[in-house]
A = this chain, B = another copy of it.
């Protein structure tokens, strides 16, 4: 079996016990551990590790990658990880133990999920994003470059106060998300802003003091006439099966504004 794998995946170290689905491409010089399961139609880039050993209670865990997934080069996925179908990474990404994600999570280049993390469906993490241990992230979330979800309120300490990010939230480039922040559905954190405490549904967080003055539905692009919440103008970037959920989420966020008045 091992000899067979060496011929099938030249230059790579693929355990004969790993479950590799139909039509899976394994790149050059990959390292696939015995407890890895890579679903049909997946692709693993060069120099990737799938099933990196984890200690403690994760030591017997599996690494399940759903069908249709693309893991780009130099990426590491640990043991005790379960990622739904159509999972995608950029290059040099890292997913640590006890990460569970729904369908079609996309994470960018140099992005880390530190583990003990739950993520919903269709969530997008751009590059250099750092998801601290214990974070809870919903569906249809967008975290842009350099977003760091902190979890220690008195660093360094033994207190863990991870961040909660509900459905449809957007965090723009270079924002600070303080430990324990709870971002309710559709909240929007501007570039360079500081989010802390509970952010109401659809609220817009601005500036280093994290002021909240607007609801996302008041954010309009003058040139394009497009307006938030983003499901109004960007739902077509998602597959048909997601449309109903996106429409419901859009309506719920808009309704929250009326409720606040």
CB <8 Å contact, A31 and B13: no
CB <8 Å contact, A49 and B73: yes
CB <8 Å contact, B155 and A172: yes
CB <8 Å contact, B142 and A156: yes
- Chain A facing B: main interface SS: loop
A63 CB–B CB distance under 8 Å = no
Closest to A142 in B: B156
Within 8 Å CB of A228, what residues of B?
154
Given the interface pairs A11-B13, A146-B146, A208-B192, the reply to whether A234 lies near B130 with Cβ below 8 Å is no
Within 8 Å CB of A157, what residues of B?
221, 224, 226, 230, 233-234
Which stretch, A81-89, A97-105, A173-181, A253-261, touches the partner chain B? Answer: A173-181
Given the interface pairs A11-B13, A130-B128, the reply to whether A154 lies near B207 with Cβ below 8 Å is no
How long is the Cα–Cα vector from A228 to B76 in the complex, in angstroms?
Answer: 36
CB <8 Å contact, B173 and A173: no
CB <8 Å contact, A174 and B176: yes
A248 CB–B CB distance under 8 Å = no
| CB-CB contacts below 8 Å: A22-51 with B | 27-29, 31, 46-47, 49
Instruction: Provide 9 A-B residue pairs closer than 8 Å at the C-beta atoms, listed in order of the A residue.
Output: A11-B29, A46-B47, A110-B128, A128-B128, A154-B219, A157-B230, A157-B234, A174-B174, A176-B191
The 5 closest A-B pairs by CB, nearest first: A154-B221, A28-B31, A176-B192, A156-B234, A145-B148
